[in-house]
Structures are given as structure tokens and as C-alpha cells.
Amino acid sequence: MNDAVSKLVRKNKTNCPFTIARNLSITIYFEDLGNGTRGFYYRKLRRRFICIHKDLSDEWKRFVCAHELGHDRMHKGISRFFVDEHSFFLPGKLERQANEFAVTLLLSENKIEAGEPLHNLFLRSGIPTEMTDFYKE
């Protein structure tokens, strides 16, 4: 996964999931998705879409975009929902992989400093601290 993320960042010259999605011709929508759904990814007629709940904080919108981008890159042909908070603690394999992809992508330009708590790295990098379980060195 680290190699795939590094290649994606190098090719796009950024780790911004919104810019990468646009460069990959993935259309991004911001809509009211109701309670419990932060975003989802889907394909229709060879077109790809990411829909993000419009009322999320900027930090969460960025993370959800990176997460859904992970589905696009790793789970070709499978549309998966990034659902309520319970999925963070007991995520299925595909959701866990998408969370790890998102954390890896969003941390690709920031490294943990000696003695720095992981919580601080996530705060400094604009990643929701609830996602620290998905950090891989």
C-alpha cells in the first residue's frame, strides 16, 4: 500500500485527495447524506463518483475523500459505504484497508518526530484522531 500511495503522490505532486480525485476524473459531490453516512464511492457507466456529507468538518471531508479514493484504487468495481461511527471500531476488511490507505495518503508528507505522540501527528496533519488505530509505520 505504501508504494501505491507514494506513486500516486509522486504522479500528482500532492497528497490532497480532492486534487488526486479530480486528476483521476472522479466527480466529487457534497450532499446531505443524513445521519450515519459520511460518504460513499460508486461507479456508474464507467464513471466514478465520490459523495461526501456536506455538513462534515473540513478535516472529515478530507479524510472521507481519501478513504473513498482508497476504495477506487484498491477495490476496483466494488462500491462500499463509509458508514456511521460503529464501522470505525469494527470495520470489515475493505473498510479497514480504505482507512489505512487514507491515513497513509494524508500522512505521506508528514512524518512522526522523535518522541511525538501519534495523537499530535494526526492533529498536525489534519486527520481525525479517531483514525490513529489505522496508522502503519
> Residue 121's domain is classified under what CATH number?
1.10.10.2910
Tell me, yes or no, whether 136 lies in a domain: no
Identify the pLDDT of residue 113. 87
Identify the pLDDT of residue 100. 95
Residue-wise burial string across 89-116, b where 16 or more C-beta atoms lie within 10 A, e elsewhere: eebeeebebbbbbbbbbbbbeeebeeee
Tell me, yes or no, whether 77 lies in a domain: yes
Tell me, yes or no, whether 137 lies in a domain: no
* Total tally of structural domains belonging to the chain: 1
Domain that holds residue 120: 2-129
What does pTM read for this prediction?
0.87
Identify the pLDDT of residue 95. 86
Which tens digits make up the pLDDT trace of 87-135?
Answer: 444 457 888 999 999 999 999 988 888 888 999 999 999 999 999 999 9
Residue with cell 477506487: 72
Tell me, yes or no, whether 135 lies in a domain: no
Which tens digits make up the pLDDT trace of 14-61?
Answer: 999 999 999 999 999 999 999 888 999 888 888 999 999 999 999 999
